[in-house]
Amino acid sequence: MPIMTASDLEHFLETDFPQALHMGCKVLHVDNKSIEVQMETKDRHLRPGGTVSGPTMMELADCTMYLLLLAQIGPVALAVTTNLNISFLRKPTPGNLRACGTLLKKGKTLATGDILIYSGDQEEPVAQVTTTYSIPPKP
C-alpha cells in the first residue's frame, strides 16, 4: 500500500502545490507502483486546431511522476526532476488528458517512472515520458 492515498495527494496539491491544482489535475487511482491522473484541458492548453500543446503534456507528466513518488515516500516537497524525456506519438484530440504512470525504480536517491498520456477517447497513447526524480537525503 502506498503511504499517501489519492485523497491525501489531492489534499497535498491544495495546500502545497497550487500550480498542479490550477492545472486541473485529479488523481483517479494510486497504488504502490502505479498512478492514474486526469487533467482537464482548458483554452490556454490548446494550439490552433484544438490540439493540446506539448508543454501541457510535459507538465502533466512531471506532475504525475511527482505524485506517484510522493505516494511512496510521503510529502517530501523537495524531490526534484533531474531528467525528463518525452516522445510525441500522435496529435491529441481536444478533451481531457489522462496520464498512466508506472514506477520503474525507487532507489534511495533516484526514482524513475514511465508515463503514457492518453487524450479524449483515443485508444493509443499520444505521448510517452520517462523521467527521473532525485530524492533528497533524510535530514
Interacting residues toward a copy of itself by CB under 8 A: 16, 19, 22, 44, 47-48, 53-55, 58-59, 62, 77, 80-91, 104-105, 109-110, 112, 114, 124-125, 128, 130, 132, 134
**Which CB, 5 or 34, lies closer to a copy of itself?**
34
- 80, amino acid identity: V
User: 72 or 112, CB closer to a copy of itself?
Assistant: 112
Nearer to a copy of itself, 96 or 130 (CB): 130
